């Protein structure tokens, strides 16, 4: 058996950390983890069948993104946003997404076909109740558009803002009406890209994003006494 080189061992460790990060994101969208939930390293390592080392590094990654909070001598928990903080994530998205979408170059037919194919996969994931796949594909759909702008720093910030609210947007995926609305509105965006109507695309994105707010704002509303 050939011994692993240092670089190969590093790649293996990095791969394990990436796997744990993705598993944690899946748990957020499945609502196995919700805002405020503690994340125990030992329990997570046992659940995923990995050592504590990649779990520890994955938790640090998500804490650096703002998805998790770390409390000294207590551990990690899923980030809890205040209503004001959540509103700020939507404000940042509105400003940054509009700028990115207005800078998009013409989309060639193959790129439009790939976007449509991703949207079809979202519909298929919805039909089989695979919310984790829906969340991943929904992000893929939007960031295929955003990255085409060439505004790499802006897109990186957009990704960070999206990740901050992952634990809250997960609520939408459990609503069949929201699932259908997501697919239908994506199809309209693809058509706006096809005819190169960037202002309509921005308008559709505003409607797409802001249409989720009433449901999500309800999360911050205390139940009646």
**Tens of pLDDT, residue by residue, the chain (225 residues):** 444 333 333 344 478 898 899 889 888 888 888 888 899 999 999 998 888 999 999 999 999 888 899 988 889 999 888 888 888 999 999 999 999 999 999 999 999 999 999 999 999 999 998 988 998 899 999 999 999 999 999 999 999 999 888 878 777 777 888 889 999 999 999 999 999 999 999 999 999 988 776 666 666 654 444
Domain C-terminal end among 26, 54, 78: 78
CA atoms 171, 126, 145, 206: torsion sign: negative
Domain C-terminal end among 52, 78, 104: 78
CATH code at position 179? 1.20.120.530
One domain for residues 63 and 89? no
Q: For 77, phi and psi rounded to 5 degrees?
A: -145, 160
Q: Which residue from 118, 113, 110, 114 is spatially nearest to 139, judged by alpha carbons?
A: 118
Q: Which residues constitute the domain of residue 147?
A: 83-220
Domain C-terminal end among 63, 78, 93: 78
Q: Compute CA 105 distance to the chain's CA centroid, rounded to the nearest angstrom.
A: 24
Q: What is the pLDDT at residue 3?
A: 43
In-domain check, residue 134 = yes
Q: Using an 8 Å Cβ cutoff, are 145 and 115 in contact? A: yes
Q: How far apart are CA 18 and CA 10, in angstroms?
A: 12
pTM recorded for the entire structure: 0.81
One domain for residues 73 and 90? no
In-domain check, residue 225 = no
Count of structural domains, the chain:
2
Q: How far apart are CA 185 and CA 207, in angstroms?
A: 9
């Amino acid at each position: 058996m050939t011994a692993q080189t240092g670089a190969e061992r590093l790649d293996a460790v990095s791969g394990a950390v990436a796997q744990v990060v993705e598993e944690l994101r899946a748990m957020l969208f499945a609502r196995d983890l919700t805002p405020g939930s503690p994340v125990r390293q030992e329990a997570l390592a046992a659940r995923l069948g990995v050592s504590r080392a990649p779990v520890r590094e994955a938790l640090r990654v998500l804490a650096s993104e703002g998805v998790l909070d770390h409390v000294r001598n207590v551990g990690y928990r899923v980030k809890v946003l205040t209503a004001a903080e959540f509103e700020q994530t939507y404000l940042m998205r509105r400003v940054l997404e509009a700028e990115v979408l207005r800078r998009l170059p013409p989309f060639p037919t193959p790129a439009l076909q790939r976007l449509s194919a991703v949207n079809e996969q979202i519909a298929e994931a919805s039909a089989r109740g695979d919310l984790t796949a829906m969340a991943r594909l929904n992000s893929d759909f939007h960031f295929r558009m955003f990255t085409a702008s060439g505004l790499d720093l802006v897109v990186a910030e957009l990704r960070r803002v999206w990740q901050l609210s992952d634990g809250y947007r997960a609520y939408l995926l459990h609503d069949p009406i929201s699932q259908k609305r997501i697919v239908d509105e994506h199809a309209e965006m693809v058509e706006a890209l096809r005819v190169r109507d960037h202002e309509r695309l921005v308008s559709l994105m505003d409607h797409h994003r802001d249409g989720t707010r009433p449901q999500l704002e309800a999360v911050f509303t205390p139940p009646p006494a």
